[in-house]
Amino acid sequence: MKITEIIKQDRPTVSFEVFPPKTDTDFTAVERAVLEVAAIHPAYMSVTYGAGGSTRDNTVKLAREIQRLFNVPSIAHLTCVGADKERIHTILDNMKDSGIENVLALRGDKPRDFDGEPFENYRYASELISDIKDYGDFCVGGACYPEGYPEDKNKDENITNLKKKIDAGCEFLTTQMFFDNNIFYNFLYRVRDKNIKVPVIPGIMPITRGSQIKRAIELSGSNVPERFKNLVDRFGDRPGAMQQAGIAYATDQIIDLLANGVNHIHVYSMNKPDVAKAILANLSEILV
């Protein structure tokens, strides 16, 4: 099922993101955790694509198993890094044969050990999106950054380029994580003002370990509100307490988004079934 069909339904839904293993040796353990998330039947699940395509086969394999075993629609991520058209088309053929109809098309980042120019064939996500739309009947989404993107001069440039992604055929956007919902509401206002009309799905990351917040900020550049810093200061050293507090904070963000009319939420619970289950349990009466 296409993601656009799922999110156009007029009811609140939640999806989860998972990641494939870096090596085939780890596949079974990762698959077990991923399928445990699928077993709670989120609206859909997205499977990331490792830097430089390192997880290419496992991304499609996991996305296929999620759909095959639990009938949960999946979306496979794909990046431009080091990819030529032939390779991208082979992956798309593989997705089609596996029944995967949804792709999150990204530029990706240059891996540290990458030799040469990683964006020779596709410079931007918009070029990849346009190629995927020309190649087959896929529902294609892209990424967006409510707090701006570090390579852009300012937030206006970021949204101007975002519009190019939409014009290339991007049908929905998923945001980078944020910890202050006002940042999302302001972003939504700015994108609508620039005539970007596709659904914008907020991405929420439950922080369940004190050490995770440092890494999450490094990767995303997200602003951390004082209220959240206090929570990490107080509970960061106690794993059980931090997990409970992090899930409560994420739940609070989700409920505020739903209360403000956002219908679909994407949760970066990654390969943690207990976190995904706790979030859904907290929303059990809200999501009916």
Residue 156 contacts ligand FAD per CB under 6 A: no
Residues 219-278 that bind ligand FAD (CB under 6 A): none
Cα 161 to Cα 125: distance, rounded to the nearest angstrom: 10
CB atoms within 10 A of CB 255: 15
The region of 27-35, 45-53, 209-217, 247-255 touching ligand FAD under the rule CB under 6 A is 45-53
Residue 77 contacts ligand FAD per CB under 6 A: yes
Residue found by looking up tokens 């699928």 in the block: 38
Residue found by looking up tokens 């991405």 in the block: 203
- Is the CB of residue 272 less than 8 Å from the CB of residue 208? yes
Active site residue 17: yes
Residue 174 contacts ligand FAD per CB under 6 A: yes
Tokens matching residue 122: 């596709």
Residue found by looking up tokens 């087959």 in the block: 136
CB of 164 to ligand FAD, least distance (A): 4
Residue 92 contacts ligand FAD per CB under 6 A: no
Strands 102-106 and 139-144: parallel
Residue 119 contacts ligand FAD per CB under 6 A: no
Residue 13 contacts ligand FAD per CB under 6 A: no
Residue 124 contacts ligand FAD per CB under 6 A: yes
The DSSP-derived string for 111-123 is -TT--S-TTSS-S
Residue 125 contacts ligand FAD per CB under 6 A: yes
Residue 58 contacts ligand FAD per CB under 6 A: no
Which residues are CB-neighbours of 80 under 8 A, at least 6 positions away?
106, 107, 108, 118, 119, 121, 122, 123, 124, 125, 127, 128
Pick the closest to residue 265 from 207, 184, 197 (CA basis).
184
Which whole-number Å values give the CA distances from 122 to 23, 93, 128, 224, in the listed order?
26, 18, 6, 33
The residue among 166 and 278 lying less far from ligand FAD, judged by its C-beta, is: 166
Residue 191 contacts ligand FAD per CB under 6 A: no
Residue 151 contacts ligand FAD per CB under 6 A: yes
CB of 258 to ligand FAD, least distance (A): 19
The DSSP-derived string for 88-117 is HHHHHHHHHHTT--EEEEE-----TT--S-
Taking CB under 6 A as the criterion, the residue among 15, 48, 181, 251 binding ligand FAD is 48
Taking CB under 6 A as the criterion, the residue among 203, 206, 246, 273 binding ligand FAD is 203
Residue 176 contacts ligand FAD per CB under 6 A: yes
**Of 5, 17, 36, 65, which is the active-site residue?**
17
CB of 125 to ligand FAD, least distance (A): 3
CB of 241 to ligand FAD, least distance (A): 29
Active site residues: 17
Q: Which parts of this chain interact with ligand FAD (CB under 6 A)?
A: 48-49, 51, 77, 79, 104, 106-109, 124-126, 142-143, 149, 151-152, 158, 161, 164-165, 174, 176, 203
